[in-house]
Amino acid sequence: MTGRRMLPIVDNFPAHPKVIKGLRNVELFFLPPNST
């Protein structure tokens, strides 16, 4: 599975990491506040 990209969609819970280090093909997308 090389070359694939991943976009997890997470809520604004403070415990979620803002940056995932060491993973080049992963980008986090945070939902706006009060949208879940």
Distances (CA, A) of 34 to 6, 11, 17, 29, 31: 24, 9, 19, 15, 8
Distance of CA 31 to the CA centre of its chain: 10
Q: What is the pLDDT of residue 7?
A: 82
pLDDT of residue 24: 80
The predicted pLDDT at position 21 comes to 78
Q: What is the pLDDT of residues 1-36, one digit of tens each?
A: 577 888 888 887 777 777 777 878 888 888 888 886
Cα separation, 9 vs 21, in Å, equals 17
1 closest CA partner among 20, 26, 29, 18: 26
